[in-house]
A = this chain, B = another copy of it.
Amino acid sequence: MKGRNAFYAQSGGVTAVINASACGVIETARKHPDKISKVYAGLNGIVGALTEELVDTSIETDADIAKLRYTPAGAFGSCRLKLADPQVDSRGFERLIDVFRAHDIGYFFYNGGGDSADTCFKVSQLSTLMGYPVQAIHVPKTIDNDLPLTDNCPGFGSVAKYVAVSTLEASFDVRAMSKTSTRIFVFEVMGRHAGWIAAAGGLAMDYGIPVVILFPEIEFNEEKFLARVDENVRRFGYCTVVVSEGCKYPNGEFIADQGARDVFGHAHLGGAAPILANMIRNKLGHPFHWAVANYLQRAARHLASAVDVQHAYELGCAAVNLALEGCNSVMPTIERVSDAPYQYRIGMADLKNVANVEKHMPMSFISDDGFGITEACRHYLLPLIQGEDYPPYGSNGLPQYITLKNELVPRKLPPFQIA
């Protein structure tokens, strides 16, 4: 007996390990051909479901699917597209169900963050209402680490490792240069609403490095900031600043605001580092260098955390196993059992409790002065950056990342115009 087909899509900003989840989904599905016939992937995420651009992953060899585990970014393409609220305009969800019906899709695996958890939840509800029940399972992913009910989100641990290592390395550089030239290194990292990623820079303090962190959770106070930087330069000869892109003035204005907007109308951030660096030079006179890692940090599969890769892979596998057990409208989660040694188990959350809930960084993770991390934060972060999971390198000296064939299944429906 052949099973029904599954649909898998990647959503939102891609990460160093989202393809490890795809790998887990596809490999696990392949073990159960009686239950799951083929896994179709959305070309460019949910867009591919709407436009009926379904990638046939069954033509890929097991060896190539295994390579997804160490290939960064989204192998099938992702998208930033939030379907309209079905109570306002149900055409998008109806089209999804039409496509699922046309291609005998009984399982929907949606790999993303908060928005996609909400979409996944709605698919499970609406498909039942529409008389074509689909088991919808959300596979968590977001470097922002802001999904509730899971200890952490795949993608975050690898960014944290990248930021911690990069902060350490650049700080060693500044320290070496500080006698006659650079005394300040300002490193801008991602995190629009939460300081999870910036917090990882604090791990470099293990090496005695003076790090000043600027969190989005703490209103930026120029005077206090400059005083702290200057104190570090006087004491240590240099200072490293790790600034979250979402760091704001008390009036709510981003330090980094460039005036640009993304497709959701969010401010397009980037550029807090040069602004702070110039502020330090103008007010304190210290020579500086600055860096903005941007995509480098979330694409850095070459430095992925082994724990994070494992989480991503296991959650992909778990999603399929939950579906096979008959679950619907759920998300597999990471449940931390202990910090040291780090132990976890795979849990499960109802999507109705995940959708539209944002997990914030606890204020107890930020030190009293607002510029550092606490021991509680350190204990939380350390397990997530453990281990290295290096990709294989080829004769060209570069990682052997895979680009799949991404062949599409023939269309069965008339075209659809995305609103």
Contacts and interface: CB of A to CB of B under 8 A. Distances in A.
A397 to B, nearest CB: 4
Contact of A161 (B178, B204, B397): B397
B289 A291 contact: no
Contact of A165 (B178, B182, B399): B399
A301 interface: yes
A217 interface: no
14 contacts: A44-B179, A47-B180, A77-B176, A80-B180, A81-B180, A161-B397, A181-B262, A260-B281, A270-B274, A274-B274, A289-B294, A290-B294, A293-B296, A382-B397
A191 interface: no
A401 interface: yes
A209 to B, nearest CB: 10
A78 interface: yes
Contacts of A262: 181, 287
A141 B74 CA distance: 38
Contacts of A226: none
A86 to B, nearest CB: 20
Interface of A: 10, 13-14, 16, 44-45, 47, 71-75, 77-81, 161, 164-166, 168-170, 172-182, 185, 187, 203-204, 206-208, 258, 260, 262-263, 268, 270-271, 273-274, 278, 281, 287, 289-296, 298-303, 305, 382, 385-388, 390, 393, 396-399, 401, 403
A80 B270 contact: no
Given A73-B176, A388-B393, 4 more contacts: A72-B173, A73-B172, A79-B179, A166-B299
Contacts of A203: 396-398
A397 B386 contact: yes
A53 B73 CA distance: 49
Nearest to A176: B74
A241 to B, nearest CB: 13
A14 B397 contact: no
A165 B80 contact: no
Q: Give 6 nearest A-B pairs by CB, closest first.
A: A74-B176, A385-B397, A73-B172, A44-B179, A169-B299, A291-B294
B168 A398 contact: yes
B175 A77 contact: yes
Contacts of A75: 176
Nearest to A381: B397
Output the residue of A47, A187, A398 with the most chain B CB within 10 A: A398
Given A168-B401, A271-B274, A386-B397, A79 B181 contact: yes
A292 B295 contact: no
Contacts of A390: 388, 390
Nearest to A75: B176
Contacts of A294: 170, 289-291
